[in-house]
Amino acid sequence: MTDTPSNRTKQASYHPVRVWWDRGRPIAAALGMGLMLANCGGAAGPYNNTTAVEDSGAAAPAPDNTASEPVAITPTAAPSRSYSAAERSMICRAGIAKVMGRDPKTMKATDKGQGITAVQYRRPDDNKLWKSECKLEGNRIVWRGVDSFGNDGPGRWRDRPDDGTLTFDVKGKRITVTETYSDGSVVPETFTF
């Protein structure tokens, strides 16, 4: 059978790599993979903080780690003032209400000491008890879930750069909580106590 375009469709599919592999050449492929893996460990690149330097006997310059450090989106903190336990209770309930999409009036808050306020509410859909803890840092509300998956204890504080930040502004019995997401979007909500 001659190799013409019309005959190629009738022949078994021909692929040069498959023919090369079928002829018993997997060892060459394994060696190629080994070379690729060997280069991953020592090559300079954006993921290993090393700098490729020719062997001139001179010391390598210190790596510039400033670009690889995560940048936190930190709102401007208001001057710190101490809040009473009752004020912290309202602020923390407003913050958890903002994050969870609930009414702060359905929540109970308890002062745990050392600036931490425990907040809990029962979800009406399934009667599940949800617990959180909250602390204030300037005008920022930092929170964590507690026993979210059974009796697993407190979770992590939501204070990482990729976490949304909660800030608050108190004007009498009105508390405005503003959630700023890591993409820069801002969503404020005002609660009246």
Q: Cα–Cα distance between 101 and 177 in angstroms, integer?
A: 12
Beta strands in 79-154 (DSSP E): 108-113, 116-122, 129-137, 140-146
Give the right CATH number for 85-192 from 2.30.30, 3.30.2010, 3.30.310, 1.20.58: 3.30.310
Per-residue tens of pLDDT for the chain, all 193 residues? 555 544 444 444 444 444 434 444 444 444 444 434 344 444 443 333 333 333 344 444 444 444 444 433 344 445 468 899 999 999 999 999 999 999 999 999 999 999 999 999 999 999 999 999 999 999 999 999 999 998 999 999 999 989 999 999 999 899 999 999 989 999 999 999 9
Q: Cα–Cα distance between 191 and 97 in angstroms, integer?
A: 9
Model confidence, pTM:
0.59
Please report, as a single letter, which amino acid is at residue 62.
A
Q: Residue 81: its pLDDT value, please?
A: 80
Q: Cα–Cα distance between 84 and 61 in angstroms, integer?
A: 52
Assign 3-state DSSP to the chain and report helix, strand, coil percentages, each to 5: 25, 25, 50
